[in-house]
Amino acid sequence: MLSKACEYCIKAVVFLAQRSKEGKLSIVKEIAQAIDSPEAFTAKVLQQLVKGGFISSVKGVKGGFFIEEKTLQHLNLLQIVTAIDGRGLIDNCMLGLNQCSEVNPCPVHHLYKGIKADIVQLLNCSLVNDLTIEFSQKLSVLKN
């Protein structure tokens, strides 16, 4: 469904959002620990998030990552998923047909289209800010 890179990104962003609301920067080590991910690999995917403009970073002593308040207001999971994994999950046919559509459907097209729409809706309606609030209240976890 989602790549490991994308899973780490989503979890990292939720954690970072919480920390940012507390006015704190987080270094890679803290993030990797909070989401139980390999540190070096996490650093790589965080770079992608910075390049995509989803999170911000500060180098050097007292540096780290954070999310700008105004970015957090509208940031949702669809933005992150498409930036990291591309539009495959959203666009692709379940059976991999290049041209799968209403007029040229694969055998499961009509059954799958509703599910795909639901996935897009889940991602699009999942505001990082909302997820973070739940996480702060310990109503959800980012690791076991």
Partner DNA sequence: CGCTTAAAGGACATACTTATCCTTATTAGA
Partner DNA sequence: TCTAATAAGGATAAGTATGTCCTTTAAGCG
Q: How far apart are CA 12 and CA 37, in angstroms?
A: 9
* Binding status of residue 64 toward DNA by CB under 7 A: yes
52 is written with which tokens? Answer: 């995509």
Buried b / exposed e over 28-47, threshold 16 CB at 10 Å, is bebbbebbebeeeebbebbe
Rounded Cα gap, residues 34 and 15, in angstroms: 7
Half-sphere exposure (Cβ direction) of 5: Cα atoms closer than 13 Å: 15
- Interface segment toward DNA; rule CB under 7 A; list 10-18, 63-71, 105-113, 121-129: 63-71
- Smallest gap from residue 2 Cβ to DNA (A): 8
Residues 37-56 within binding reach of DNA (CB under 7 A)? 37-41, 43-44, 46-47, 50-51
Site membership for its own copies, residue 115 (CB under 8 A): yes
Q: Which of 76, 92, 124, 136 binds its own copies (CB under 8 A)?
A: 92
23-31, 67-75, 114-122, 135-143 -> range binding DNA (CB under 7 A)? 23-31
Sign of CA dihedral 23, 29, 30, 31: positive
Alpha helices in 22-87 (DSSP H): 28-35, 39-51, 69-74, 77-85
- Give the nearest distance from C-beta 94 to DNA in angstroms: 13
Instruction: Please give the helix or strand (H or E) that residue 129 lies within, else none.
Output: helix 128-136
Q: Which does 64 bind (CB under 5 to 8 A by kind): DNA, its own copies, none?
A: DNA
- Which partner from the list its own copies, DNA, none does 134 bind, CB cut-off 5 to 8 Å by kind? its own copies
Asked whether position 87 contacts DNA by CB under 7 A, the answer is: no
| Residues of the shown chain interacting with DNA in the complex, contacts defined by CB under 7 A | 3-5, 8, 26-29, 37-41, 43-44, 46-47, 50-51, 57-65
